[in-house]
Structure 1
Amino acid sequence: MNEIDDKFYYVYSSALDHKVEIKIGTLEGKRAKPEYDKLLSDPMLKFSGLYQDGCSDLYVTCQVLCDGVPLALPVTTSYKAFSNRWNWNEWITLPVCYSDLPRNAILAMSIYDCAGPGKVMVVGGTTISLFGKHGMLRQGMFDLRVWPGVEGTEKTPGKAPDRGKEQMQRLAKLAKKHRNGHMPKVDWLDRLTFREIEMINEKEKRSSNYMYLMIEFPTVQIDGISHAVVYYEQDGDEMFQFRAQGEVVTVPDYEIMQENLVESKQHRLARSVRGLAPARDAKPSASERDRLSALIAAPAAPLSADDQDLIWKYRFYLSSHRRALTKFLECVNWNRPGEVRQALSMMKQWSPMDVEDALELLTPKFTHPAVRKYAISRLKQAPDEDLLLYLLQLVQALKYENFQEIHQEYARVCGDAGASSGDNALLASVSASEMSSSVTSHQSEDTDTHSPADGDTSNPASENEQEMEEQSLAHFLISRACVNTVVANYLYWYLLIECEASETGREDARDMYLAVMKTFSHRLARVAKKASLFKSALMPCKLTFLTSEGSEYEAIFKHGDDLRQDQLILQMITLMDKLLRRENLDLKLTPYKVLATSSKHGFVEFVESVTVAEALASEGSIQNFLRRHNPCEGAPYGIRPEAMDTYVRSCAGYCVITYLLGSLDLGDEEAVHYLQNLLDLSVTAVMAALVEQFHKFAQYWRK
């Protein structure tokens, strides 16, 4: 019998830079087959490992966890074919060192089985802590209870006792004491005792409803002596002092974010009217001039108080610099009326700024109406090509305008009572000078803006006063769009996008964009009261539209006809007329316009006419009709020669064109007779018959 050794041999876990190893032994117990209803819901279970003869091909995955968080990737046992029992007897190495293990690290093991192509089934899971309750790394073999149907987590402890079967746990603790040398060792008695312990364990395992996984932890031996691995964290026992409360004491400051009276007084004295006379003749020094040049050339950024005072001091000197106006307006305190009056007066005397620089005045930094209207007056000088470059930004700048003014303008233009008067007022603002200025080049603009440098300081002021009209940004955009279809097209889609984008934003911004869109649509609207339908099989509709000049334009909308053939014929007639005009032969042809919007509908220009039947009924003959509307006493037949010439040339021209297109092959007398037959309805019946004839040829070509 060996004596009990009272010495305790141990090593620190922080000193072991080796990977964690674990041996997966055997799995004992019977797997419960699934219920019949689960087999009906998933027939593939019949081909899984549960119904396999003998032991199915199971595998085990091991992973180290800490507070439910994995510390490393899982490791899986290699494939092994089993016959009568699940026996792996495989040492696996985990990708984590002993020195990196925390105190509460656990080893989670999950058992899987094949459940079909690319599918796995969880057989069960179990866990065990790597360190015991005294902080020593576990060594030796352990029988862990497997929780069926779940993966190994903190909720599946492998050492949980089974009710009525605590003998197995008690014998495991005694075997641990014997292994650690806390019991005397007798060889012959130990062999008998351990054989009896194995029989008791096997009996309890067979009588239990759980499966048991046997694992083995390695033992640490140094010079043939077993050592225990004690958890130790280097420098983990050092004490760090910290304060429960912060050293910073919060003291309320009632003057914070308040106005500085000294700086405010100095600011008012510097911006007062008393300093107006000295500032007119103030000239900066060389250093101040360089500083002003750097401030003007710098990109948009907040100015310091010293920079603002410097720009205000030499504002008269900077008035000839176009790019300095934006910096000057940033120096103004718009909450003080006296300072605002000086700034607005100075803005009128300033050299007109470039159109590109005026865009900054429409940002949210500048909310004063006079400043924004000045920016709009400068935008009037931009041609339409340049306006398209920043049209999107101008549409987005509408959200910084006065919403009340936009709604008032919409009510004035689109209101029931004053709709017509509002249209006249808006249309009158689009003058001929504005239309000509939209195509003015930058070269002429630069020439005009440089004229004040010659010494005449009154021209810029008078020019700005003339340009600064009471016009909002929305009014300006709509006015420019009404004189250019390209601008109108882009403006429409930009407004539509902003209306849709504002649905998730501010409600007032969405209402504002809707008001601008309705105002713009009203400017390009149609007169619904004058719409009518023609007596025809397809019942084409005559629509009346309002042009940008306030006049009406009538068109016919046809649905059911392919107007692309009409377009082809009219293009050929227009081309013939153009070629004949080059040869000084004007046949007085006036073909109407056709726009095919699809293969089934399109627009046709409406031409006001009088039918031959009406002319004959009222006048008796075509000569009398022409004599009444175009009288001339000294001319033949009493008809103005220009009217007779136009009538004869047009009739002859249409006959010639009909002949050239191959619609008819007639002589002169037959052509005149055929022409009289075509004129039974209206003066424009020739074109209708020609188009109909071409339709017949087109149908023949398709066949």
Structure 2
Amino acid sequence: MEPFTFASSSELHLELAVKVWVYLQYNNRLEGYEKPLPYSTLLKRPDLRHRGSNLSPNSELYVTVQPFTDSKPLTVPSQTPYKHFKNGRIWNQWLKLPVCYSTLPANTQLAITVWDLSPVNPTGGDRGHHVPFGGTTISLFDDDFTLRTGRQKCKIWRHKAADGYSDTKTPWQEASKRGRRGQPEEPDIVDEKQSRRDAELERLVGLMKKHEMGEIQENRWLDQMVFRQVEKLERQQIKDTTKPQLAKRSTRETNGEQNGTSCAENDQDHVDGTFFLYIEFPRFDHPIVFTDHEYPPPPVSSVQIQPQTIAGVNFKPPPEVQLGPGIHADGGSDTDGGGPLISIYDPEIGYADNPAEAKHRRLIRGQRSALDRDLKPNPKMRDFLNKTIARGPTWELSDKEKDELWRFRHHLTRDKHALTKLVKSVNWNEQSESRQALALLPKWVEIDVDDALELLGPSIRNPGVRAFAVDRLRKADDDELLLYLLQLVQALKFEPKTSKEEDETDSSLASFLIVRSAANLKLGNFLYWYLMVELQLDEDVPSQSPANKKLFARVSYDFMKELENTPEGQVRRKTLLRQGELVTVLSKISKDVRNGKGDRVRKIEQLKKMLADPKNDLLVFDPPLALPLDPDIKATGVIADDCNVFKSTLLPLLINFKTEGGEKYPLLFKTGDDLRQDQLVVQIIALMDRLLLNENLDLKLTPYRILATSTLTGAVQFVPATTPVSNILQDPKYKASILGYLRAHNPATPGTPSILGVRKDAMDNYVKSVAGYCVVTYLLGVGDRHLDNLLIQEDGHFLHIDFGYILGRDPKPMAPLMKLSREMVEGMGGASNNPGESQFETFRQYCFTAYTTLRRSSSLILNLFSLMQDAGIPGLAIFGGDAAVRKVEERFKLDVGEEESVRFFAQMIDKEMGAWGPVLIDKLHGFTQNWRS
């Protein structure tokens, strides 16, 4: 698109102005512009003989201009001064009106009337007066709501004053006429010579506009010749257009005389001619586009007016609206093309309670509390309630659903999944209603953890409800709590603010996390680092307000203080401080290596030297230090000689630690990269793995550990004995196939079961892990999938790395919904119909089982994403609001049944196997990587 620039009319603080330029000269009545008055008319109306326009073709006329909107005048009219004309009626006068452009509506029109002088009043009386010579009405903004500028040619409607109405009878451009029965009127016969003259006139008028705008260089003597020629052509064009009209008028006059009537008896004071008025609007450097003041969007009202009859109540019909003169019944006008009226939102509907609705709610929910206790739904209502309860956590309840949930609240206390829906149906601003809802919480059956997480979300602010959810979390063990700890830290932002005097220890989420984390080394380790990341977030992150930063600082302080009260608290507090020192030293070393000069070999030598430097105190840890990435690992020091620098843009460091058992623990340390998104994805994968294991489905997933220590540093667990699929397909040792790789590392031996020449356990690892990662990466919308971030271990475990793009985002076009290449399918024997040779059908069944299993736990996964929507993670923040949660929800296909969802997944597998787009992407990616290396 070409660049364009425009200005806003609301910023144009100038008075409205119009220049009455030239009233086009007509030579005289003898050339056919206007027939002279017949004697019969003059005998009947002798006063017409004394009108100025009938006495001289250059008689004195004056012009008035007045702005109108919605058929109503905006200001008083402005009038041209008296001027004596000699050769033609030329005013060349600017008229300013007492109104600014910035205050004008979009449908503003200018009513311009040319007035003639008449010394005799035809209606009686001694004083003379003025009569309308003609009028025209022009809109100030065009159809595109752009301010009209420059010269405009307006048709004058004889003997009519400009009305300024929305359906004006004096438009500045005559509308196209229609023939009989809607057929277009037959056009007038135009000869070829006239057509060429009209085309030439149109071309010259366009050049004149460019000349007026300064786009054509000025040449005075030549310009005067062009102006005279244009004036001559315009006069001739008017004469040509007048001839057929005069011919038709003569025919009508003849027919009138034959019928005993005359032209003068048809309420005509004059025989009309053809006249045009040239006006000029101010010009500006840029187009002026109409803009109004933008009001902030009001809150959406919960009131939903139904047009039909509800509960036997007949609503009154809408009142009749009496429209003013000149206003269309459909809201149309000469400026909006007859479009509908604009609906204006009433802010009071959103800001203030509807008294009728509030009274209805009090009657329904307040006075019938005793009757609702024993109320039970009938089968039809039970189906309605079950359908409402089965909705996902993002579903917006309707008024009917809220009312029915409240009506049967006592009956629903035995349904653990109904509590979240009931909480959303309560008006917590109504004290009596909130008291009744809180009284039901102790009677409710024990809810699941996923429902407790939903009650800790941003939409629930009632302290009693959140305290009930925290009580449910107290029953979870430490391992389960560790799965949701990242989201629970984010849920601290949604805690209601209480005064310091109130004792909220038992119901506070912060107090619960502090006490449980102080008693468990693992929980305390990760709580500490999650809080450190929040404290290091920049203030430009929308979610990291000063209040939130103060909140996390307070929780961190209370946590450290709580550690002092536990038997092992002092030791654990020192451990956390030592972890912080280790991360600081490794961050400095990583930055120095990345910024250092030399190739990769020199950087590796520099890394070894810095790790062995006694100043960094990394060779020996006394006492052994629990690593931040995995507190179960006690490291005794760093193996300085066994380290590496990976060939990547950020040059991550591979560092090996010695453990208490004499083993080696490798990890990757990265700086300059935000690992919070990878940390979230791996956490969700670990949760999905646990959900599948609970259903006795082990898909051999490898959720390696990731810990972000700040927004620019972090550690990643190094998975040993892994090879990228791209390297396997290029290695002739494996015959450029995944199956060859599996056979090389897991050959079939006599006496052991095997499949396709591969040990059965290795083939099972491969088939199950491919199925598991196909499902989880599809649900999370993981993008940028190429053969370099797909790894295979020697024992057949398949895994994905690098989760920089999620929720359907991908830097490459034609990205697949799920990464399943032909090479991956051939590794399990190909898509053969013989189940004895191929494991493809087994792979499909694993996919279907995993997908349906995770669909049943969709609420838990969606609630975890909902708690993370304000964490400032780039992959989530780019969508805004709860759009990220809805992206995940779309992939669960919750709006269809289980059979249809399995059918959808089967179709996706077949589609991705035969897609050529991912193959092309892999080829281009491999070519790019080889060219870079």
**Is the structural similarity TM-score above 0.5?**
no
TM normalised by structure 1 equals: 0.35
More helix per residue: 1 or 2?
A: 1
TM normalised by structure 2 equals: 0.27
